[in-house]
């Protein structure tokens, strides 16, 4: 749906236009299909809001900054709550709430449990 040329040529060599700063570009027709959030997306939303709005681990600004750190290719190809989940992971580590080793170990455990239950876990290597 999105023309790859449109995606890639516009934010390179732009001398300061960041990956998220898309006003005035052309990402093609708007897909207006409606769908409810998946449970895991609601959970990302809920946990993120608990962490920043209720428990003050960081601000929404820090979350945005972390999302904006994604490279353009990944920024464009990830969904909204995928960006949030990755931002949450990186902020929790940055703020030393959890360690990278803890996240990696728990992720292996979670993925293994789902695979043992017969589920296919796609792309479990989440870019940093």
Partner 1 sequence: MENRGTLQIGQLVRVDDRSAVGHCRAPWYLRGQVGEIVEVLGVFRDPEKLAYHKPGVPRIPLFKVRFKQSQIWPGYVGSPRDVLEADLTANWLVSALFADRHEKNLSEKV
Partner 2 sequence: MHDPHDHSHDHEHSHDHGDGQDPHAPQRDHDAVEMSGYEALEETLRLLLIEKGIITHDEVARQIDLMDSRSPALGAQVVVRAWLDAEFKGRLLRDAREALKEFDVDIGSLAEFKVVENTPETHNVVVCTLCSCYPKMLLGVPPAWYKSMAYRSRTVIDPRGVLTEFGLDIPLSREVRVHDSTADLRYIVLPMRPADTDELDETALVSLITRDCMIGTAEPSRVGRGA
Pattern 6-45, binding to partner 2, x per CB under 8 A?
--------------xxxxxxxxxxxxxxxxxxxxx-xxxx
Distance CA 63, CA 49 (A): 11
CA triplet 29, 25, 34: central angle to 5 degrees?
35
Single residue of 4, 5, 12, 16 touching partner 1 by CB under 8 A: 16
Q: How many residues bind partner 1 (CB under 8 A)?
A: 16
Considering the complex, state which of residue 52 and residue 81 has its C-beta at the smaller distance from partner 1.
52
Site for partner 2 in 50-69 (CB under 8 A): 50-51, 53-55, 60, 64, 67
Q: With binding defined as CB under 8 A, does residue 100 bind partner 2?
A: no
Residues 6+ apart with CB under 8 A from 71: 19, 127
Residues 6+ apart with CB under 8 A from 121: 111, 114, 115
């Amino acid at each position: 749906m999105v023309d790859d040329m449109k995606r890639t040529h516009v934010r390179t060599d732009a001398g300061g236009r960041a990956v998220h700063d898309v006003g005035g570009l052309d990402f093609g027709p708007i897909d207006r299909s409606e769908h409810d959030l998946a449970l895991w997306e609601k959970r990302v939303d809920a946990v993120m809001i608990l962490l920043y709005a209720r428990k003050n681990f960081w601000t929404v600004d820090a979350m945005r900054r972390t999302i904006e750190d994604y490279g353009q290719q990944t920024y464009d190809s990830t969904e909204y709550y995928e960006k949030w989940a990755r931002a949450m992971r990186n902020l929790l580590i940055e703020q030393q709430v959890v360690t990278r080793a803890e996240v990696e170990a728990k992720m292996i455990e979670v993925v293994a449990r789902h695979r043992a239950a017969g589920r296919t876990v796609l792309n479990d290597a989440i870019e940093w």
